[in-house]
């Protein structure tokens, strides 16, 4: 057997560490842990060698369950629909890849999207299985996404985000708010809402913060510059709704308004620029999207 350890990133596999439970086999555990995947689907994946042990060898249906056992599997979405948008690479070097993500394209595999994601597209395009996004933006949001291209330097760049050493500027188009004084700071406590994919504000100590300003006015619509201090899911969308101006074409806020994507009505939210001091060189780095929001 090869002494080279199995690298799930190189093989584009997901990994699960089996939880505590009463199961007899790994198969039983997987069926209970991933309820959305039927037993027949797991049996089919195992038969095709798409479920692997910690060393990267295909498992058998009889493999005994053991708490803490690491299992690698390949996510599959039958008849995955193509997303008719195109990403663009803005910068590449030994350590970083910067890409412009179009509206509607997820950053990483999730739900019904696996191959139709920015990460998988870039891995194939650049032939670099070590690509890892350093941050995320919503599927409905367009603009800059920063990727680590080198495992050796990944930790240095990852630390920029939790340590708030990177300035992120967004633009949004939403209804005018003439009764508010800008610039302003909005803080709130955000928690998971209903349905499961939405967030909501609740009373309590704030865990989210956004600086908002107005950069252009056009009748009842204004263009806002948004600077998220924290990075909660849907933070800018929730905060703009709380201020009284949900972002134009938002399908989730203030209410869920559509089930299918309407490519003619993208969310008017754009990750416009990223600025930070490079942790390896100490030099200032600045990246700006080539995309723009129209009225």
pLDDT at 1: 42
Model confidence at 75, pLDDT cuts 50, 70, 90, reads confident
Tell which wins on pLDDT, 60 or 10.
60
* Global pTM value: 0.79
88-288 CATH: 3.30.2350.10
Q: Is the peptide bond before 144 cis (omega within 30 degrees of 0)?
A: no
> Which residues of the chain does CATH 3.30.2350.10 include?
88-288
The whole-number average pLDDT for the span 136-159 is: 96
The whole-number average pLDDT for the span 30-48 is: 87
268: nearest Cα among 292, 290, 252: 292
Q: Are residues 193 and 199 in contact, defined by beta-carbon separation less than 8 angstroms?
A: yes
In angstroms, the CA 26 to CA 18 distance is 8
Q: What's the half-sphere exposure (Cβ side, CA atoms, 13 Å) at 181? A: 0
Model confidence at 2, pLDDT cuts 50, 70, 90, reads very low
121: nearest Cα among 92, 162, 164, 88: 88
Which listed CATH number (3.40.50.2000, 3.40.50.1820, 3.10.290.10, 3.90.950.10) goes with 14-73? 3.10.290.10
Model confidence at 6, pLDDT cuts 50, 70, 90, reads low
Tell which wins on pLDDT, 1 or 97.
97
The whole-number average pLDDT for the span 88-114 is: 92
**% pLDDT > 70, the chain:** 95
In angstroms, the CA 265 to CA 193 distance is 24
- Beta carbons within 8 Å of 50's beta carbon, 6+ residues apart: 58, 73, 74, 76
Residue 240 pLDDT > 90: yes
Tokens 């009284």 sit at which residue?
244
Residue 78 pLDDT > 90: no
Q: Is the peptide bond before 281 cis (omega within 30 degrees of 0)?
A: no
Residue 19 pLDDT > 80: yes
> Which residues of the chain does CATH 3.10.290.10 include?
14-73
Specify the 3-state DSSP secondary structure of 158. helix
| 90-94, 124-128, 256-260: which is most confident | 90-94
pLDDT tens digits, 261-281:
899 999 999 999 999 999 999
């Amino acid at each position: 057997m090869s002494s080279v350890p199995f690298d799930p990133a190189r093989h584009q596999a997901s990994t699960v560490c089996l939880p505590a439970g009463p199961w007899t086999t790994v198969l039983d555990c997987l069926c209970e842990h991933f309820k959305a995947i039927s037993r027949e689907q797991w049996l089919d994946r195992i038969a095709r060698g798409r479920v692997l042990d910690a060393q990267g060898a295909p498992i058998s249906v009889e493999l005994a369950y053991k708490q803490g056992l690491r299992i690698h599997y390949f996510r599959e979405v039958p008849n995955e629909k193509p997303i008719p948008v195109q990403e663009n690479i803005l910068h590449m070097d030994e350590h970083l890849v910067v890409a412009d993500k179009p509206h509607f394209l997820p950053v990483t595999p999730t739900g019904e999207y696996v191959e139709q994601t920015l990460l998988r597209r870039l891995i194939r395009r650049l032939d670099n299985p070590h690509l890892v996004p350093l941050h995320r933006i919503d599927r409905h949001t367009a603009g800059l996404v920063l990727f680590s291209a080198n495992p050796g330097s990944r930790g240095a760049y990852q630390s920029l985000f939790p340590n708030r050493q990177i300035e992120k500027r967004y633009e949004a188009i939403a209804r005018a708010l003439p009764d508010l004084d800008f610039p302003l700071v909005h803080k709130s406590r955000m928690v998971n809402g209903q349905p499961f994919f939405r967030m909501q504000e609740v009373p309590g100590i704030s865990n989210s913060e956004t600086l908002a300003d107005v950069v252009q006015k056009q009748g009842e619509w204004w263009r806002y510059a948004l600077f998220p201090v924290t990075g909660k899911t849907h933070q800018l969308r929730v905060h703009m709704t709380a201020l009284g101006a949900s972002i134009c074409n938002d399908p989730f806020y203030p209410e869920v308004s559509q089930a299918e994507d309407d490519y003619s009505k993208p969310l008017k939210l754009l990750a416009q620029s990223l600025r930070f001091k490079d942790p390896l060189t100490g030099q200032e780095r600045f990246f700006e999207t080539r995309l723009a929001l129209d009225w």
